[in-house]
Amino acid sequence: MSTKVRVAILDDYQNVALELADWSAVLARAHIDVFHDTIPTSQPDKLIERLKPYNVICAMRERTRFPAEIVNNLPNLKLLITTGARNAAFDLEACKANNVVVSGTQGYGNSTVEHTWALLLAAARNIPRDHFRVASGAVPWQAGSLPIGLFGRTLGLIGVGKLGTKTAEIAHLFGMKLIAWSPNLTPERVAALPVPVSYVASLNELLAQSDIASIHMVLSPSTRNLVDRAALAHMKPTALLVNTSRGPLVNEQALLEALQQKKIGGAALDVYDEEPLPVDHPIRRLDNVVLSPHMGYVADNNYAVFFRDTAENIVAFLDGQPTRVIQ
Between CA 275 and CA 206 the distance in angstroms is 28
The pLDDT of residue 4 is 86
Contacts of 84 (CB under 8 A, 6+ apart): 61, 104, 105, 107, 297, 306
Contacts of 263 (CB under 8 A, 6+ apart): 232, 233, 235, 237, 257
Between CA 216 and CA 161 the distance in angstroms is 7
The pLDDT of residue 3 is 62
CA distances for 52 relative to 4, 44, 70, angstroms: 16, 12, 10
Give the dihedral sign, CA 125/249/215/200.
positive
Between CA 26 and CA 18 the distance in angstroms is 11
Check for a shared fold between 5-108+299-319 and 111-291: yes
Q: Any catalytic annotation for residue 69?
A: no
- Of 63, 65, 153, 294, which residue is the catalytic one? 294
Q: Any catalytic annotation for residue 246?
A: yes
Report the C-alpha dihedral over residues 71, 73, 75, 80, rounded to 10 degrees.
Answer: -20
Count of alpha carbons within 13 angstroms of residue 172, beta-carbon side: 13
Interhelix angle 111-124/162-173, nearest 10 degrees: 50
Residue 33: strand pairing partners: 8
Nearest partner of 322 among 86, 78, 83, 98, judged by Cα: 78
The pLDDT of residue 18 is 98
Report whether 122 contacts 241 (CB < 8 A).
no
The pLDDT of residue 288 is 97
- What are the structural domain ranges in the chain? 5-108+299-319, 111-291
Report whether 26 contacts 32 (CB < 8 A).
yes
- Of 65, 216, 246, 312, which residue is the catalytic one? 246
CATH class of the structural domain 5-108+299-319 = alpha beta
Question: Angle at Cα 45 formed by Cα 39 and Cα 48, nearest 5°?
Answer: 70
3-state helix, strand, coil split of the chain in percent (to 5) is 35, 15, 50
The pLDDT of residue 47 is 98
Q: pLDDT by residue (tens digit) across 68-97? A: 999 999 999 999 999 999 999 999 999 999
The DSSP annotation for 265-299 comes to SEEEES--SSSSPPTT-GGGG-SSEEE-SS-TT--
Fold of the 111-291 domain: Rossmann fold (3.40.50)
Under-70 pLDDT residues of the chain: 1-3
Pairing of strands 212-215, 240-243: parallel
Report whether 303 contacts 111 (CB < 8 A).
no
Straight-line distance from the first to the last Cα atom of the chain, in angstroms, rounded to the nearest whole number: 19
**Phi, psi (deg, nearest 5) at residue 167:** -60, -40
Nearest partner of 145 among 129, 160, 158, judged by Cα: 129
Q: pLDDT by residue (tens digit) across 152-182? A: 999 999 999 999 999 999 999 999 999 999 9
- Of 133, 275, 281, 324, which residue is the catalytic one? 275
SS (H, E, C) 180-205: EECCCCCHHHHHCCCCCCEECCCHHH
